[in-house]
Every structure is written in C-alpha cells, then in structure tokens.
Amino acid sequence: MAWSRIVRVALRMTFLTAAIGALAATPLFVRGQTAPKDGKAPPPAAAPATKPSTKPAQSAKPAKDPYDGGVPGYDGLRKHRMSDAELGRLRMLEIQSGAYREAKAAANSQALVGPPLSDREKVQHVLNRLSFGARPGEVEKILESGTTEQWKAWVQQQLNPDKIDDGELDQYLASRFPWTKMTVAQLYEKYPVPKPNAQMVEGPTWDVLRRELPESVVIRAARSHRQFKEVMCEFWRNHFCVDNSPVEPRPRTWAAANYEETVIRPHAFGKFKNMLLASAQHPAMLDFLDNRLSRANNWNENYAREVMELHTLGADRGYGNQDVLELSKVLTGWNYDKNYQFAFRADWHQPGYKYVLNTKIPAGYEGGEQALYLLATHRNTAEFIATKLCRYLVNDNPPPALVAKVAQEFLRTEGDLSKVYAKILLSPEFLERANYRAKFKTPFEFTVGALRATDAKIDDARETCQTLKRMGEDLYFCPDPTGYYDTAEAWMDSGVLTSRWDYALHLMRGRVKGVRPDSAVVGKYKAMKGDERFVAMVRDFIGDDIGDRTRQSLKEAGDANDVPRMIGVLMGSPSFQQQ
C-alpha cells in the first residue's frame, strides 16, 4: 500500500537524520504525506522508532568541536533551529539516498520539499545554471538591481542574447581569432597543411586552427556577458557533436572551426529544425558521420541512424532498422563540393519514393528536407529534447511533469528554442529546493567557473585546454557522436577532485600559463581578518556551507594568512563542484 511505503521512506529519513545529527540538537522526522483522491485526510501514521542516540547530552555551552574550523563564534550547522541552508542540505541527502525518489514513486504521495529558496539563493541558482558561475560581486549587483524578482529580470535579459552588449569581446575575438569570420574554403587557404620536406610555411597552419578552436570556446565562455548563450552553445555543441581529434582527416579541422560559427552559435536561440538542417548540410557533419560517402545502391547508414538516435527521436523511440535504411536512401547525394559548400549530387541519389516513419518521402533534394522536417517536429523528438534540456538545466533526474510541459511547448512552437528555454527557466519546478545545487559540474563548467570566480585575465588558454584534456573533456575531440555527458555519473571518478584541486591551486599560485587571476580578488580578502574573511569567502565562492575537511584546510591556510591558497581550497572543494 502507498501508506506503508511512505512509512518505510520515513524510517529511512529518520536514520539519515541521525547520521547527520550535527544538523540539529533534537531528532528530526521527515515523513511523506498522502493525498487521497477523495480529498479526505489520511489516518495518522504511527511515529517511527528512532535510533537511540549514543551522544552525551550537551551542556548549555557546547564543548569545542575539532571541526568548527577554528573560527571564533562560528557554530556552522550546530544550531537548535534549522536554517534554510541546513534544510537544503538535508534535502540533498534525501535525494542522494534515494528517499526522495521512492517517496515520489509512491501512489498519491507528496514529499516535503523544504522551504522556498531565499532571494539570494534564487540569484545564485540562476547564475549557476544560466552561466558558468558568478564573477566577483555579480550576485550582489543583481540583488541590488531594485526589482522585486531580481533573478527573473536577469533570466529574461539572458533569454535575448542579441540585445546584450558584448562588443568588447567580439572585437577581441576578431583580432585574436580572425578565422571566426572565414568560410571553410578561406580557412583551407589561410591555414594550409605544410608539404613534406618543404621549407617552413610563413604564417599559421592547419594545426594552429585545430589548437585555437578549443581556446576560443574557453575564452568566450569565461568572458562573455551573454552567459546563457554560451551555456546553451555548450549543450548543442555536444548534442550535434563532431570530432576534430588528431586521428581524423585534416579537412575536418577547417570544417569544425566553421561549424561552431555557422551551425551552433547562430541557431542556439532559433528554431531547432533550422539547426538540424544546418548540421546535416555542413561538411563537418557530412564527413564525421560519413554521409558524404552515401550514394545510390551503396548507401551509408551512419548519419541516418545517429540523426534519429542522438539528434531527434532518441534511442529506440518509434523507429526501426527499416526506417534507418530508408532515411539513408533519402539522404544519398548529400555532399559538399571542392569549396566545402553543401552540394546535392543528383547522380548519387537513390531514385524513387521512400517511406520513413510510415510517411511517403519523394525522391530528390526536397525529400531530404522533408524527412528532416518530419524528424524535427515529431512528438518523440519534442520529448527527447525536452528531457535532455531539463536534465541539463534543472536536474539529472528532471521532474516528469516539467518535461511534459516543455515537450508540449516544443511542439506548439515548432521547436522555437528561446521559448522552450523560457518554459523551463520560468517554471515553478526550476526553483524547487530539490534542484538547488543538485548538479555536478563537468570539467568544462568547473574550469570556466574558476576563471570567472577569480575574474581571471586570459591571454593564452592552451594550458587550460590541456588541463581539460587531462580531466577527460577535450573540447572538439570527442570521438563518440553522443558528445560529452552532462550528468554527475559521467564525471564522478576517483581522481576527479584531485585534478580539479590541482588546477585551482595552480591557478591561484600563478602557475597556469597565460592566465592571471585578478589581484583585486586576493586583495579584497587580504584586507579582512578572522570571522569576516571566512564568512565572506565561503559566501562569495560557495554560497552555502562547506564540509569539515574543507573547513579545516581553509583554517590552516587562513592561519598562515595565505589568501591565494584559501581561494584554491574553496574552488577545489566538493562544494564548489555543485551547481
């Protein structure tokens, strides 16, 4: 029965509470509550048995705790009345233990979800999800904007990136990376492959372009005022993934650089169907998934399979092998010419009608467009994209009700992405406490977040890109067409925190070549002492509480008045990895 299941969940929550007894001085019971269909109140449940406490009774003045961080007057979580932050951490334990999931699964049940986010938490939440992290003073700037719902005004601004002035960055990029404005043919000419045994080529070569593409991605993500656009470009860069790794043909290097500028960035806030078509026709994708090799009576199924499984419908969702075969025939002849422009080769095209998803598709180029439009506007595509977006922006296990609403908006607007994003970000579910600090940063999100948190000046991002490679997220070098995953499960390995800790400490010691944290960030905290410095640093870099080990390491660095190390400790801590 539903009620007995809720009681089991309540027992589980009781033991969780005992395990984190430092959260409160008295026992805390968290119970799911049922809401029967007839509207009548359920019978009261028997109080769950509590685990006997083995802790000695506390006196009015508690004894010194070895993990209080050594900060006079700082009690951390040791309060009789739980704060919003404490309840939030308890919520995280519920989620991690599986109790929240079990309670939600119980028929007619409704789990307690904790208090609403405070104004500051709302701002921190949107900056964690719609940007790669706050820059110094950004949270306070938004809070002091004078509006009643400060977070919402900032979200609505970010939903219109073209109206945000980013002229300074645009000018820098045009000077630093002139290739961003070139066609593939121009890239081929300006960044040639040196001939064997030839004298040194004057000017940049193709390997410079291969190296600079990831660097440009990092610099944009760190410096742009259009933060949500950068966040969504990262999403679509992985969704429509192309590999530019050294083992791939050199023409992909020229094509990949142009792919970022003509497929991903212009369409990230447009219609999904247009981005799908642009991707399908670009030489980078035509080459990566082999559709340029597909011809009549010798069709290649790679792209047809991946466009259904990864780009639109989702794996095993309403299509079969026959649909893949038919779509591969539809797209025969889709190729590119010697100037790397899309070209339809009629002499390579499979003649005759084809049937995709029980729909008759005519022969010729128009048939290919019709088939892609069919996929782009299909209900299964709407559900698949909605699920991925909600997982990316809300929670690794997104609320099904929210996914359904977002999928409906996708269908209603024919994939108008700006409206789909707004449906997620302005929903009540987005600000639920269960989703606050519930995601784990990818290596890219962590690294760029550290650069932004320290307001670092980036003259050369090569070493940072090498660090991302060591962390397992080598930009544009993902051989799997799935792209890099954005869930915690993909990045929670034994060495993940070690590599992040190293980067954070090296960054603050000035040991990351080409990157310099703003001296004003360090200077701000050097001017503080004791409690004031501790509280300010935790608030600015974490926005929530920190673990005992982090607190102890922070205390040791503080005792030595080593502010750079204090900042490195916080950025390398588990708490900084949450978003």
Of the pLDDT bands very low, low, confident and very high (cuts 50, 70, 90), residue 392 is: very high
Closest Cα to residue 218, out of 440, 393, 460, 571? 460
Task: Return the pLDDT at 388.
Answer: 98
Closest Cα to residue 264, out of 483, 463, 479, 423? 483
Task: Return the pLDDT at 29.
Answer: 31
Count other Cβ atoms within 10 Å, centred on residue 543.
22
Task: Return the pLDDT at 185.
Answer: 94
Domain count, the chain: 5
Q: Are both 467 and 414 inside the same structural domain? A: no
Task: Return the pLDDT at 112.
Answer: 52
Q: Are both 418 and 565 inside the same structural domain? A: no
Of the pLDDT bands very low, low, confident and very high (cuts 50, 70, 90), residue 51 is: very low
- pLDDT exceeding 90 applies to what percent of the chain? 72
Let me know if residue 366 belongs to a domain.
yes
Write out the two tokens for 278: 């642009």
Q: Are both 344 and 220 inside the same structural domain? A: yes
Let me know if residue 469 belongs to a domain.
yes
Let me know if residue 386 belongs to a domain.
yes
Residue 222 has pLDDT above 60, yes or no: yes
Cα–Cα distance for residue pair 434/270, rounded to 1 Å: 30
Q: Are both 211 and 146 inside the same structural domain? A: no
Give tens-digit pLDDT for 410-465: 999 999 999 999 999 999 999 999 999 999 999 999 999 999 999 999 999 999 99
Of the pLDDT bands very low, low, confident and very high (cuts 50, 70, 90), residue 49 is: very low
Q: Are both 260 and 319 inside the same structural domain? A: yes
Q: Are both 387 and 332 inside the same structural domain? A: no
Let me know if residue 398 belongs to a domain.
yes
Task: Return the pLDDT at 493.
Answer: 79
DSSP 8-state assignment for residue 442: -
Task: Return the pLDDT at 87.
Answer: 42
Q: Are both 326 and 191 inside the same structural domain? A: yes
Half-sphere exposure of 382 (CA within 13 A, CB side): 19
Task: Return the pLDDT at 103.
Answer: 40
Q: Are both 76 and 64 inside the same structural domain? A: yes
Which residue type is seen at 243?
D
Task: Return the pLDDT at 199.
Answer: 64
Residue 236 vs residues 261, 318, 409, 461: alpha-carbon distances, Å: 12, 23, 19, 22
Let me know if residue 455 belongs to a domain.
yes
DSSP 8-state assignment for residue 148: S
Q: Which domain holds residue 393?
A: 380-435
Task: Return the pLDDT at 197.
Answer: 64
Residue 495 has pLDDT above 90, yes or no: no
Distance of CA 259 to the CA centre of its chain: 21
Highest average pLDDT, of 55-69, 197-211, 323-337, 483-497, comes from 323-337
Chosen domain end from 361, 379, 397: 379
Determine the average pLDDT of the residues in 267-271. 98
Q: Are 454 and 517 in contact, with CB atoms under 8 Å apart?
A: yes
Of the listed ranges 31-35, 41-45, 116-120, the one predicted with least confidence: 31-35
Residue 102 has pLDDT above 60, yes or no: no
Residue 40 has pLDDT above 80, yes or no: no
Q: Are both 454 and 567 inside the same structural domain? A: yes
Cα–Cα distance for residue pair 106/3, rounded to 1 Å: 8
Q: Are both 206 and 135 inside the same structural domain? A: no
Task: Return the pLDDT at 251.
Answer: 83
Instruction: Tell which wins on pLDDT, 42 or 243.
Output: 243
Distance of CA 177 to the CA centre of its chain: 25
Let me know if residue 482 belongs to a domain.
no
Q: Are both 186 and 246 inside the same structural domain? A: yes
Give tens-digit pLDDT for 158-215: 999 999 999 999 999 999 999 999 999 999 999 998 777 656 667 788 889 999 999 9
Mean residue pLDDT of the chain comes to 84
Cα–Cα distance for residue pair 243/387, rounded to 1 Å: 24
Task: Return the pLDDT at 496.
Answer: 77
Let me know if residue 481 belongs to a domain.
no
Of the pLDDT bands very low, low, confident and very high (cuts 50, 70, 90), residue 79 is: very low
Determine the average pLDDT of the residues in 504-530. 95
Cα–Cα distance for residue pair 313/375, rounded to 1 Å: 7
Task: Return the pLDDT at 191.
Answer: 92
Element (H, E) at 34: strand 33-34
Let me know if residue 480 belongs to a domain.
no
Task: Return the pLDDT at 544.
Answer: 85
Task: Return the pLDDT at 248.
Answer: 72
Give tens-digit pLDDT for 300-344: 999 999 999 999 999 999 999 999 999 999 999 999 999 999 999
Element (H, E) at 179: none
Task: Return the pLDDT at 200.
Answer: 65
Element (H, E) at 355: strand 354-356
Distance of CA 281 to the CA centre of its chain: 27
Give the N- to C-terminal CA distance of the chain in Å, as an integer. 36
Determine the average pLDDT of the residues in 86-93. 46
Residue 61 vs residues 26, 53, 78, 209: alpha-carbon distances, Å: 16, 19, 12, 64
Count other Cβ atoms within 10 Å, centred on residue 8.
15
Determine the average pLDDT of the residues in 509-520. 96
Closest Cα to residue 130, out of 431, 550, 575? 431
Instruction: Tell which wins on pLDDT, 29 or 282.
Output: 282
Q: Are both 209 and 311 inside the same structural domain? A: yes
